[in-house]
């Protein structure tokens, strides 16, 4: 089938390349000329493992092409996927749908044959209804069906998620749209992936509900980690103990500095705004958003405490800037808040990341970026692991410790053991784990009963 994809960002480019891989003829369209020119040269606008080879293979096979011109890209197409950004509006937190609606208007104006417009972008409930209204306004005689097909692509594992998905969610209102989407995804279905057909509004809500639930799991285990530190328990064992219950599962139960990225922060906020508009508040998600935001800066204070409290003029090395490994995405990354907290306390911050430095330079001021994690640790008073890149899982801690001015390792991803750190001569701080597994003393418990403002470190 012929498919058009509007938008060559993360979702659009990965989806377009994967649609081509399963045999469809795909034309990807983007208004940003520089991005299309780069793609035509074989240069990827994002870092995603395996994407460059996948794109090159399908371009060479003639199944994938790129253009800035929508009109010829629509010729002969049976479906057009809208995969543009839906960032949070700064004014009220709602999803900004201006790019989605703009694309819908252009498609309606250019369509000359029956089409199915499919929202691949993450959009609030009722977006498909508004797209239908726009089509009726722009091209009242056009034969255009509107469907929803939310993406569930994890950055760093997106190609596998598309080709071997847990499920494909498709929301339609007409038999024609149902048939077209079924035909598009037939190769995926034949490999065993379930296609879940629903009403369009239900499909739109599934995406938000899924991301909100995962955000809840992350935030829950992070708060349990804080409790573990208070009572002398180990959050890693707590995670295993509850995760082995198949009603709960083991995924998204790794304690850390909080969630970030392009999806969870904006999608939880958009879900709250939708619930508010329909006078059906989701209080648990509201709490999750608040807890996650405060946690990120709290991790900065955790580092300051590990460094001894009086940190002005000291150096902290941050290993990992992106919100997760195997991506260059810095959006809402915990590192941003952690670094800000350190800088506010007078700490000079050095940083290393395998892929995120280019984006980080535009978002972080006063940070010294270093090409090598060992070089970044030289003369530092603390090394802080923020993102669990593989390169940080096999560091020679003895070499790290030898060059440091103050031998402190703050492991916000629980990569190392306390024994390994101590063997290298490093004072070790983790998340949800107490040094030597010792329970806090009664004096420590009493101190924790003091008002927060009397014990907080700025």
Which residues have a catalytic role annotated? 263
Give strand pairing partners of 28. 5, 66
Q: What DSSP character marks residue 157?
A: S
Q: How many CA atoms, within 13 angstroms, populate the side-chain half-sphere of residue 173?
A: 16
Q: Helix axis angle, 200-231 relative to 127-138, nearest 10°?
A: 150
The C-alpha atoms of residue 117 and residue 6 are separated, in whole angstroms, by: 10
The C-alpha atoms of residue 184 and residue 172 are separated, in whole angstroms, by: 14
Dihedral, CA of residue 335, residue 340, residue 346 and residue 348, to nearest 10:
40
The residues, ordered by sequence, that sit 6+ positions from 29 with a Cβ below 8 Å of its Cβ are 4, 5, 6, 7, 8, 66, 67, 68, 69, 70, 73
Query: What is 357-402 written as a DSSP string?
Result: HHHHHHH-SS-EE-SSHHHHHTT-SEEEE-S--GGGTT--HHHHHH
- Compute CA distances 350 → 144, 342, 394, 429, whole Å: 53, 11, 20, 19
Q: Which residue has the tokens 């239900």?
A: 202
Q: How many CA atoms, within 13 angstroms, populate the side-chain half-sphere of residue 286?
A: 9
How far the first Cα of the chain sits from its last, in Å, is 59
The C-alpha atoms of residue 47 and residue 50 are separated, in whole angstroms, by: 9
Other CB atoms closer than 10 Å to residue 358's CB: what's the count?
Answer: 12
Q: Which residue has the tokens 């037939």?
A: 186
The C-alpha atoms of residue 146 and residue 119 are separated, in whole angstroms, by: 8
> What size, in residues, is the chain?
458
Dihedral, CA of residue 373, residue 375, residue 376 and residue 378, to nearest 10:
130
The C-alpha atoms of residue 185 and residue 3 are separated, in whole angstroms, by: 12
Phi first, then psi: what are they for 414, rounded to 5°? 55, 45
Closest CA to 328 of 158, 163, 162: 158
Helix runs in 139-199, H state only: 158-163, 175-190
The C-alpha atoms of residue 252 and residue 365 are separated, in whole angstroms, by: 31
Closest CA to 413 of 401, 436, 429, 394: 429
């Amino acid at each position: 089938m012929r498919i058009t994809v509007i938008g060559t960002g993360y979702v659009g480019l990965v989806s377009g390349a994967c649609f081509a891989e399963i045999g469809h003829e795909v034309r990807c369209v983007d208004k940003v000329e520089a991005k299309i020119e780069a793609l035509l040269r074989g240069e990827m606008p994002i870092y995603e493992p395996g994407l460059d080879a996948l794109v090159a293979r399908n371009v060479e096979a003639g199944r994938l092409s790129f253009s800035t011109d929508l009109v010829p890209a629509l010729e002969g197409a049976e479906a057009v996927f809208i995969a543009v950004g839906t960032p949070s509006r700064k004014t009220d937190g709602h999803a900004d749908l201006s790019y989605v609606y703009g694309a819908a208007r252009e498609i309606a104006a250019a369509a000359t044959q029956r089409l199915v417009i499919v929202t691949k972008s993450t959009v609030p409930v009722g977006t498909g209804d508004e797209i239908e209204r726009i089509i009726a306004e722009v091209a009242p005689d056009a034969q255009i069906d509107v469907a929803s097909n939310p993406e569930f692509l994890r950055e760093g594992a997106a190609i596998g998620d598309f080709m071997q998905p847990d499920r494909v969610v498709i929301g339609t209102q007409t038999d024609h749209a149902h048939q077209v989407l079924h035909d598009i995804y037939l190769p995926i279905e034949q490999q065993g992936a379930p296609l879940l057909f629903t009403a369009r509004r239900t499909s739109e809500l599934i995406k938000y509900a899924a991301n909100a639930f995962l955000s809840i799991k992350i935030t829950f285990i992070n708060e349990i980690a804080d409790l573990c530190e208070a009572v002398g328990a180990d959050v890693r064992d707590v995670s295993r103990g509850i995760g082995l219950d198949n009603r709960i599962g083991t995924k998204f139960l790794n304690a850390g500095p909080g969630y970030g990225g392009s999806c969870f922060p904006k999608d939880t906020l958009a879900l709250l705004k939708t619930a508010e508009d329909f006078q059906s508040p989701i209080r648990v998600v509201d709490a999750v958003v608040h807890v996650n935001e405060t946690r990120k800066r709290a991790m900065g204070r955790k580092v300051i405490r590990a460094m001894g409290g009086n940190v002005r003029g000291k150096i902290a090395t941050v290993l990992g800037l992106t919100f997760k490994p195997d991506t260059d995405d810095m959006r809402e990354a915990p590192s941003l808040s952690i670094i800000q907290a350190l800088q506010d306390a007078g700490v000079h911050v050095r940083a290393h990341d395998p892929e995120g430095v280019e984006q980080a330079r535009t978002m972080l001021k006063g940070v010294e970026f270093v090409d090598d994690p060992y070089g970044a640790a030289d003369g530092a008073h603390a090394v802080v692991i923020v993102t669990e890149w593989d390169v940080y899982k096999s560091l020679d801690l003895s070499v790290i410790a030898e060059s440091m001015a103050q031998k402190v390792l703050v492991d916000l991803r629980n990569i190392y053991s306390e024994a390994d750190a101590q063997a290298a001569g490093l004072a070790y701080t983790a998340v949800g784990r107490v040094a030597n597994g010792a329970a806090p003393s009664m004096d420590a418990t009493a101190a924790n009963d003091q008002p927060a403002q009397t014990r907080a470190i700025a």
